[in-house]
Chain A
């Protein structure tokens, strides 16, 4: 129960098959356009508020102009610190989502950067204490504030209100779509360390033995499952078997190959990549999506995230790996479609963007290259923090920020401007 002290998150118990699974209700969806903008920052885990440079303070609630001097406002990252000055425990609510989750603690935080705001309260914070603010997406994928005692604390995720905002693998069952990919083994290990209850490691063509498969077989909490993303029958069969108990799906399949349209082109390779990456994503989403969508409120280990590891060059083509970028761009586009279709289910469609990995198919690419273990660590951290867009490594962060700054300039740079 929230608000009664520092409770541990309850261990999920086996479901009573005579009870109906709770419908995946979500908090209110409606926001103003300014309010929706906040969700963009929450998706990336940034704590941004409208800011008046002339008055040197943040403004809340969002407005078109500074209420003090009528100057234009810009959104910027601000100081997360503040003080909890009041709290209230909701015992009843006309909102269906909150009715099923009472009591619910909320409070008012006086921010160091100026305004006071309403926030959800982590169980560790008390009135009069210094707090640290987080900006999160709720189950409706809309931005809400959360006040913490310590965002990095070791027991921070033991909070049931926070768990509604995040996709923590703890106690959850995770499917890795291609566990033989470079990220697969690292993820399996990191998920086990993050106390995932069970890790289903998808492996295609088990008739091809290799060291990764042997390492996966040796891990505790890992179950090897046959899954070939190029084979509709294989995806359908696995979804029929375990689709109802996949709480987090991490799609890791990739096939990075150099080459574009004129240089190093191979249509059979392009077809293969397209089938594995693009149609493969559609196979996975169409077979596992419906069951996940129905289990968005299924207790402590509810379905919570459909995660895809994407090349950051989904945003803008990197011609050295031109076909590969195009396939990822298609998956990126499909992930936006899936977000719309998953909205209202409480299941988050998460994308983890990466640059070139430290692996054979990027051997002629200059560093920095991403270590698969770093990928696994940051991806899981992103889930624990409830992010929707996780940018992992220097290249991904750099390309993404340049994309936000000026997409055309990034295109010019990538296609011959001298800077990749």
Chain B
């Protein structure tokens, strides 16, 4: 740790910029709502619980001066965080649960790769390595220990269009296998996030390995963020992401509030 005289004032500028609005706090979270879609697995598998609320009291006989709810949901309901233990490839890693992972990694730089144009023409769009290299050619190399988010505009979709289920499964964009390998092995990212229901594309069950984003990210101790909202409000680089899951004992993930600190352009 640095001595007090060296650290004094380190965050003062940030505090002033937050107070003045020079640094904006952007909310990248969907509201936890009973109607928000969750991932649909084949019916014979266990399913992700929907978000639900039961009123405990509302200033009434059940509690005269107070209003509160019990809520229930899955760890992977709504805007949520995936820890390495979520996937079989990460099950034996150290610090692989939400209660044990190093919190230092929950705040970090974020690069946002804009794939909206590609996704508009192709719901099954897979972001490949060339797309990442094109991003780097324009905005610079992705720094180590950054979050990388895939911007697709998917969070503007609602209901059936969001899940986009057809008889042959879901159709939504995601990263190609080689792109995930590149981000993990050559760019040492903290994690990967997306506006879709999972870090993998809708058709990723047919990839090699199946669900490559889950398999590779979590196998290497990296994290996932899904159901992010409104990534078009982030700059390609220069923002800081805050993504702290709930501290659930042995938890494999959790719904969370994802915030970004963004230099104001106004």
* A interface residues, Cβ below 8 angstroms from B: 205-209, 228, 230-234, 266, 268-269, 272
User: Residues of B contacting A232 with CB < 8 Å?
Assistant: 52-55
**A223 CA / B87 CA spacing, docked (Å):** 43
Residues of A within 8 A of B53 (CB): 232-233
- Of B52, B55, B158, B165, the contact of A230 (CB 8 Å cutoff): B52
- The verdict on B120 contacting chain A, using a C-beta distance below 8 Å, is no
**5 smallest beta-carbon distances between A and B, as pairs:** A207-B159, A207-B160, A231-B34, A207-B37, A209-B160
Beta-carbon contact of B46 and A269 below 8 Å = yes
B47 contacts A by Cβ under 8 Å: yes
> Which of A205, A206, A228, A269 has the largest number of chain B CB atoms within 10 A?
A205
**29 chain-A/chain-B pairs, Cβ below 8 angstroms:** A205-B35, A205-B37, A206-B159, A206-B160, A207-B35, A207-B159, A207-B160, A207-B162, A208-B40, A208-B160, A208-B163, A208-B165, A209-B160, A209-B165, A230-B50, A230-B52, A231-B50, A231-B52, A232-B52, A232-B53, A232-B54, A232-B55, A233-B34, A234-B34, A266-B46, A268-B47, A268-B49, A269-B46, A272-B49
Residue of B nearest to A207 (CB): B159
In the complex, the chain B residue whose C-beta lies closest to that of A268 is B46
Q: Is the CB of B46 within 8 A of A228?
A: no
* Contact indicator per residue, chain B 141-175, by CB within 8 Å of chain A (1) or not (0): 00000000000000000111011010000000000
A282 to chain B, nearest CB (A): 11
Asked if B50 and A207 sit within 8 Å, CB to CB, the answer is no
Task: For residue A99, give the distance in angstroms from its CB to the closest CB of chain B.
Answer: 39
Residues of chain B within 8 A (CB-CB) of A205 are 35, 37
Q: Shortest Cβ distance from A225 into chain B, in angstroms? A: 14
- Determine how close the nearest CB of chain B comes to the CB of A278; give it in whole angstroms: 14
Residues of A within 8 A of B46 (CB): 266, 268-269
Interface residues of B in 54-81 (CB under 8 A from A): 54-55
Taken together as a complex, chains A and B put the C-alpha atoms of A233 and B159 apart, in Å, by 18
Instruction: Determine which of B34, B49, B160 lies in contact with A228 in the assembled complex, contact meaning CB atoms within 8 Å.
Output: B34
Which B residues contact A (CB, under 8 angstroms)?
Answer: 34-35, 37, 40, 46-47, 49-50, 52-55, 158-160, 162-163, 165
Q: Which residues of A contact B52 (CB under 8 A)?
A: 230-232
Chain B residues lying within 8 Å of A228, measured Cβ to Cβ, are 34
Q: With a CB–CB cut-off of 8 A, which chain B residues contact A266?
A: 46
In the complex the two chains form, what is the Cα distance from A231 to B35 in whole Å? Answer: 9
Chain A residues with CB below 8 A from B49, complex form: 268, 272
The answer for the CA separation of A230 and B55 in the assembled complex, in Å, is: 14
Contacts of A231 in B (CB 8 A): 34, 50, 52
When C-beta atoms are compared, the residue in chain A nearest to B158 turns out to be: A207
Bound Cα distance A266, B159 (Å): 29
Identity of the chain A residue whose Cβ is nearest the Cβ of B54 in the assembled complex: A232
Q: Nearest residue in B to A226 (C-beta to C-beta)? A: B35
Residue of A nearest to B51 (CB): A231
Give the docked Cα–Cα distance between A232 and B58 (Å). 15
Chain A residues near B40 (CB, 8 Å)? Answer: 208
Complex Cα spacing A228 to B40, Å: 17
Closest chain B residue, CB of each to CB of A210: B165
* A208-B40, A268-B46, A272-B47 given; 17 more Cβ-contact pairs under 8 Å: A205-B35, A206-B159, A206-B160, A207-B160, A208-B163, A209-B160, A228-B34, A230-B50, A231-B34, A231-B50, A231-B52, A232-B52, A232-B55, A233-B34, A266-B46, A268-B49, A272-B49
Complex Cα distance, B158 from A234, in Å, reads 18
Complex Cα gap A206–B161 (Å): 11
Question: Which B residues touch A208, using CB under 8 A?
Answer: 40, 160, 163, 165
**How long is the Cα–Cα vector from A268 to B74 in the complex, in angstroms?**
11
Which residues of chain A are near B163, meaning CB under 8 Å? 207-208
Measured between alpha carbons, how far is A54 from B76 in the docked complex, in Å?
72
**CB-defined contacts of B34 to chain A, threshold 8 Å:** 228, 231, 233-234
Closest to B162 in A: A207
Cβ–Cβ < 8 Å partners of A206 in chain B: 159-160
Find chain A residues with CB under 8 A from B162 CB.
207
Neighbouring B residues of A272 by C-beta, 8 Å: 47, 49
**A230 proximity list for chain B (CB < 8 A):** 50, 52
Q: How far is the CB of B27 from chain A (nearest CB, A)?
A: 23
A3 to chain B, nearest CB (A): 51
In the complex, what's the smallest C-beta–C-beta distance from B36 to chain A, in angstroms? Answer: 9
State in angstroms the CA–CA spacing of A268 and B158 once bound together. Answer: 27
Residue in B closest to A234 when the chains form the complex, CB atoms: B34
Q: Nearest-CB distance from B48 to chain A (Å)?
A: 10
Minimum Cβ distance to chain B for residue A254 (Å): 14
The CA-CA distance from A209 to B166 in the complex, in Å, is: 9
Chain B: minimal CB distance from A390 (Å): 29
**A231: nearest chain-B partner, CB-CB:** B34
Output the least CB separation between B34 and chain A (Å): 5
Q: How many Å from the CB of B167 to the closest CB on chain A?
A: 10
Distance from B137 Cβ to chain A, minimum over Cβ atoms (Å): 39
Q: Which residues of B contact A209 (CB under 8 A)?
A: 160, 165
The smallest C-beta distance from A214 to any residue of chain B, in angstroms, reads: 12
Q: How far is the CA of A230 from the CA of B72 in the complex (A)?
A: 11
A266-B44 Cα distance, complex, nearest whole Å:
11
Q: Could you tell me the distance between the alpha carbons of A269 and B162 in the complex, rounded to whole angstroms?
A: 26
Residue of B nearest to A360 (CB): B43
* Closest Cβ neighbor of B55 among chain A residues: A232
Please give the distance in Å from A57's CB to the nearest CB on chain B.
57
Chain A residue numbers with a CB within 8 Å of B55 are 232
| Cβ of A276 to closest chain B Cβ, rounded Å | 11
A32–B217 Cα distance when bound, in Å, is 74
* B222 CB, min distance to chain A CBs, angstroms: 27
Bound Cα distance from A272 to B37, whole angstroms: 17
Q: How far is the CB of B191 from chain A (nearest CB, A)?
A: 27
Identity of the chain B residue whose Cβ is nearest the Cβ of A236 in the assembled complex: B55
Cβ of B37: which chain A residues have Cβ within 8 Å of it? Answer: 205, 207
- Min Cβ gap A209→B in Å is 5
CA distance A205 to B158 in the complex (A): 12
Shortest Cβ distance from residue A116 to the other chain B in the assembled complex, whole angstroms:
56
